[in-house]
Amino acid sequence: MLPTKVVLSDKLSQINEHWHPRIVGELNGQHVKLAKLQGEFIWHHHEAEDELFLVLEGELEMQFRDQSVVLRPGEFLIVPRGVEHRPVAAKEVSLLLFEPAGTLNTGNVGGDRTVLNPERL
């Protein structure tokens, strides 16, 4: 199979929902996902998975129980497994996620915001 170029702006233009990540690539058991966020998500953690959040557009505040980290376009943060966190976006944010395949967006919490089978773009 030949490599396929992914144009992030084209893929992002296909996303109209917040908090519903879409798979845009896969390598070595990892998913590359795109998502648009706005508002507050839920507090959660991932028992066995680290997550990378790379901001493409907008500003993301990653809240932890003892601090917050603000990410702007071109900045990323790796949230280690087991660390409770909550993404917050006052205005719409577009980001790229890199995480093990099968990682649930709601981690240990589950619930109605869980995306069990993310769509592939």
> What would the DSSP string read from start to end of the chain?
-------HHHHHTT--SBT--EEEEEETTEEEEEEEEEEE---B--SS--EEEEEEES-EEEE-SS-EEEE-TT-EEEE-TT--BEEEEEEEEEEEEEEETT--TTTTT-STT--SSPPB-
CB distance 48 to 109 below 8 Å: no
The pLDDT, as a whole number, for residue 46 is: 94
What pLDDT does residue 3 have?
87
Task: Give the pTM.
Answer: 0.93
Nearest Cα to Cα of residue 97 among 115, 111, 109, 82: 115
Residues of the chain short of pLDDT 70, as ranges, are none
One CATH from 2.60.120.10, 2.40.30.10, 3.40.50.2300, 3.40.47.10 for 8-100? 2.60.120.10
Give the pLDDT confidence score for residue 10 in this predicted structure. 97
pLDDT at position 1 is 76
